Amino acid sequence: MTTFEIQDYIHVYSMFSFRDGRKLPGIIVNKYNVAKARVEYFFINQSDMGAYRQAFDNYDRESCSRLSQQVNLDDIISIRPVSLADYKMTMQLLNDRSQQINAAR
């Protein structure tokens, strides 16, 4: 993706498809790197979003860096915005189904 294409998805909870085949829910954030004089993009996995938000609110740069992964925009194939509530409901339904299957064994 290009920098223009990704602008509408910054800080928007979405499903990301990566060139290596991964499909992960999360958000993309951008940060300006003063030393390199450029904007860099970082992916925050859905499972780390709460901890990242808390670290960000507490100005804990080390934790923010640890919880985010720098991303090359060329590695992102597609982005599909998702409702967080819908995602949680889907995950709960999958978990319930897995429990039913395991109980039947």
Q: Which domains does the chain have, with CATH numbers?
A: 3-104 (2.30.30.100)
| Lowest mean pLDDT segment, chosen from 1-5, 27-31, 32-36, 40-44 | 1-5
Tokens of 70: 């720098």
Q: Is the torsion defined by CA of 14, 47, 40, 21 positive or negative?
A: negative
Query: In the structure encoding, which two tokens stand for residue 78, read together?
Result: 């597609």
Contact 30, 8 (CB under 8 A): no
Helix, strand, coil % in the chain, rounded to nearest 5: 50, 30, 20
Model pLDDT for residues 11-38, shown as the tens digit of each residue: 999 999 999 999 999 999 999 999 999 9
Cβ contact 46:26 at 8 Å: yes
